[in-house]
Amino acid sequence: MKLLEFEAKDIFRAFNLPTPLGNVAKTPEEAKTRAREIGKPVAVKAQVFAGKRGKAGGIKFANTPDEAGNAAREILAMRINDLPVEAVLVEEKLDIQQEIYLGITVDRTERKYVVIGSSAGGMSIEELAVRSPEKIVKMYVDPLLGFQTYEAREMAIAMGFRGKMLNTLTSMILSLWSVADSYDAELTEINPLILTKEGRLLAADARLNVDDSALYRHKKLTDGLRREPVEQNAREKLAAEHDMAYVELDGDIACICNGAGLTMATLDAVALHGGKASTFLDLGGGADAERVKKGIEIALMYPKVKAVLVNIMGGITRCDEVAKGIVAAREEKGLSIPTVIRMVGTNEEQGQEILSKAGIPFLKTMEEAAERVVQLTKEVS
């Protein structure tokens, strides 16, 4: 369960993590009122489940209440990453001396929480890891002992802080750990944590994702934040309605498979041959022709898709049904971009015969299929 920035900040403040003065607004008039209450220049920030909102124009600065109202009007009319903006956060504009990164997530390889800090905040931790890996400080949390005060202090020292600011940052790291521990967080982060020219440390942004499997322990939170899943775009909602696992990525090859493990392996095979997946789409077990057709239709809705790779391991899923769905997608939905099929398993020969009659080629190994779809994608690029 993802929380919006203002929701996460409400929790942060309860754990003694200071945030800028501000409040949420859902109309331009409310934004003007919030700015008037603050009484100084403000930042007007889109509240939406999407990253890089600043680059998308979702953060604007205003010197007067009227400017704040106009900024809110523009932002509330936007869609960021195909998601509507339904509220803005109006906060005091900060006089920044330094941007810092603090975050806590789960390292699934180590099977532990990991606390991450850097004196160079303001960019995503992934970008920072590429540009300046030496500036990242990591510390794993012992699952039995939890995160200790001396560890937080060592981390703050490694980030370059001394004196009074060392003690302040140590306390904030411990408070962020308390948030993660108390709310079963998959991820919580402050990026950026701002050191102002007046010497204040403030969480200028806030992110908190709660593990869905632990929501039964947080009834007060889920009841208080009951809402429609606006964090999903139209394609994600459609896939969810049909019980398909669907994730959008940055590449241009849609991978449609049956089973999460096979889908992940297919993404890896595409990457191994120099391609990048645009879509993780798991049809699930027992997919019939209609479900296959619908899966392809959803994948084709994503503008980044330049080619489709269908990789099916037939068990309870029958290859002849898959083949019928592929043929129907081509005939009814205009499947005209390069498409590579690999099917093995139940009714494999019947499925291949259906594809052959329709003039649709197929391959027998995942490696061949991945190599072929990457080649075709490069040809149409």
Residue 146 is given by DSSP the state B
101 catalytic? Reply is yes
Taking alpha carbons only, the member of 189, 63, 66 closest to residue 124 is 189
Single out the catalytic residue among 5, 7, 30, 101. Answer: 101
Residue 168 parent element (H or E):
helix 163-182
Contact 89, 30 (CB under 8 A): no
Taking alpha carbons only, the member of 117, 155, 110 closest to residue 135 is 117
Q: What CA–CA distance (Å, rounded) separates 192 from 179? A: 17
Residue 203 parent element (H or E):
strand 201-203
Structure-token pair, residue 334: 């205009």
Residue 257 has phi, psi (to 5 degrees) of -140, 180
Q: What CA–CA distance (Å, rounded) separates 21 from 94? A: 10
Single out the catalytic residue among 189, 236, 248, 348. Answer: 189
Degrees to nearest 5, angle at CA 268 with 105 and 296:
100
Q: What CA–CA distance (Å, rounded) separates 312 from 257? A: 5
Which are the catalytic amino acids? 101, 189
